[in-house]
């Protein structure tokens, strides 16, 4: 994450290329959708699987959600929302 001269935070494009390619590979490149709603529903399922189940080597074998929760515990001032509240299901 980098700060621009105006103080806006942005991510380099390379950080988004791999997840984008993975999501495209299991959605639009493999399936035919009769409507955009079907694509959106399948994309949401794929994103949930990617964020909550896929362990990544670059994150020391944590899922993206586990990594965000780990950073939130050590640096909560970097977050606007509690990432644990973004998890699907019961949050008790």
Residue range 46-84, pLDDT digits in tens: 888 888 888 988 889 999 889 988 988 898 888 887 776
pLDDT band at residue 2 under the 50/70/90 scheme: very low
Contacting residues for 69 by C-beta, under 8 A, at least 6 apart: 83, 84
Question: Cα separation of 74 and 69, whole Å?
Answer: 9
pLDDT at 92: 46
């Amino acid at each position: 994450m980098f700060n621009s001269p105006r103080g806006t935070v942005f991510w380099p494009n390379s950080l988004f290329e791999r997840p984008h390619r993975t999501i495209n590979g299991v959605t639009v490149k493999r399936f035919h959708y009769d409507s955009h709603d079907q694509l959106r529903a399948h994309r949401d399922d794929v994103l949930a699987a990617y964020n909550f189940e896929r362990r990544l080597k670059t994150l020391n074998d944590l899922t993206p959600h586990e990594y965000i929760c780990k950073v939130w515990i050590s640096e909560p001032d970097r977050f606007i929302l509690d990432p644990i509240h973004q998890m699907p299901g019961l949050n008790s």
